[in-house]
Amino acid sequence: MDALSKIFDDIHLNRSEYIYLKPQGNWVHCYQEQDAMIGYVVLVGSMMLQLNSHTQLYVEAGDLILIPSGQNHSCSSHTHSNLVEALDITTLFDQKRQETIEFGSSSGESTLILAIRCHLDTLMARPLLHALPPYIHIHHITGSAAPEWLQIGLHFLAIEAYQIRPGRDKILDHLVSILFIECVRDYIAQLNDSNNWLSALSHPELSNALAAIHSQPELAWTVETLADQCCMSRSKFATLFSQIVGETPLAYLQQYRFRLASQHLRAGQFSIQQIAHRVGYSSETAFSQTFKKLFNLTPSQYRQQFQ
């Protein structure tokens, strides 16, 4: 399995939820950060999206905007007044999922927005989220110039969203995952900065080392054996890896192992000794000591937080 595929396996991108937002006239809605990715497809009308005090985006009909980290943000009409009370849509994905939410003033232009939320393991996704921009904006997704994968994906999404058929939730999960993966792949293809963790995922040599780490973290990897995966010398591999990824191969390996260990601890399916072996530690004591240094909690204390 290639590195990017394994990373998407790790982050558990699932539980897709959607609502249709149908604001009219003067309106504002806000969203509070969760462990989820947020996407908006503007079907009719337009909106202003405010990510922070420095970032405001104009999103028009036919545009897709993806916020990978699901950070706090607000969306509004162009003419909204500060006196307009913002509708918090954070909980609506649970309470009103698959419904159409009407809000705003009684007169004025109507807008129709498909809002999608997809949950993920933010700890496992940390390198990916740090490497991605705060938002990915794809213009005119319904036009002929849009990528074919996006047109097909949105077509299937629309069909499944409107029809109540067995297995729909699973289909939607897969469709949203595919859309997110394709957005990331599209972003990687357009990267100009070669010193970026995302560049390493598609690097003709380094990607082999990342795939090895993510596929078999339990193996006793060394810089030499990882360099062998890339058919490179030890020194050339270590220099190139540190330059592009931003840390040494063994530091990256350790960080990944303990993100994975934290995921296993939260899931509660394995004993601490089993988890230690799964991430490359033959000694439970050594594993627990390193875990505490990184998380300021013992594995047992960390697990208790999620029970």
Which of 77-86, 93-102, 150-159, 266-275 is predicted least confidently?
A: 150-159
State mean pLDDT over 211-232: 95
Which of 124-128, 142-146, 171-175, 222-226 is predicted least confidently?
A: 142-146
Which residues make beta-bridge pairs with 222? none
Question: For position 147, what pLDDT does the model report?
Answer: 66
Evaluate if residue 306 carries a pLDDT over 80: yes
CA distances from 176 to 116, 120, 179, 273, 276 (A): 8, 12, 5, 36, 33
Percent helix, strand and coil across the chain, each rounded to 5?
45, 20, 35
Burial (CB count <10 Å: 0-12, 13-18, 19+), residue 63: buried
Domain ranges of the chain: 10-189, 198-304
Tokens of 37: 């990715």
Kindly report the average pLDDT of the chain as a whole number: 86
State mean pLDDT over 65-93: 87
d(C-alpha 85, C-alpha 30), whole Å: 10
d(C-alpha 159, C-alpha 16), whole Å: 15
Burial (CB count <10 Å: 0-12, 13-18, 19+), residue 116: buried
Evaluate if residue 199 carries a pLDDT over 90: no
Look at strands 14-24 and 100-104 and give their pairing: parallel
Look at strands 28-31 and 136-138 and give their pairing: unpaired
d(C-alpha 104, C-alpha 172), whole Å: 29
3-state secondary structure 137-163: EECCCCCCCCCHHHHHHHHHHHHHHHC
Residue 158: which pLDDT band, with cuts at 50, 70 and 90?
Answer: low
10-189 domain in CATH 3.40.50.360? no
Question: For position 156, what pLDDT does the model report?
Answer: 66
Question: For position 140, what pLDDT does the model report?
Answer: 78
Residue 81: which pLDDT band, with cuts at 50, 70 and 90?
Answer: low
Question: For position 4, what pLDDT does the model report?
Answer: 82
| Closest to 287 (Cα-Cα) out of 295, 296, 277, 297 | 277
Class of domain 198-304: mainly alpha
Ramachandran angles phi, psi of 265, nearest 5°:
-65, -40
State mean pLDDT over 161-169: 64
Residue with the bigger pLDDT between 85 and 279: it is 279
Residue with the bigger pLDDT between 105 and 46: it is 46
d(C-alpha 39, C-alpha 236), whole Å: 40
Residue 144: which pLDDT band, with cuts at 50, 70 and 90?
Answer: low
d(C-alpha 80, C-alpha 27), whole Å: 6
State mean pLDDT over 31-60: 90
Q: Are 121 and 4 in contact (CB under 8 A)?
A: no
pLDDT digit string, tens, across residues 237-295: 999 999 999 999 999 999 999 999 999 999 988 999 999 999 999 999 999 999 999 99
Q: Which residue has the tokens 């089993």?
A: 274
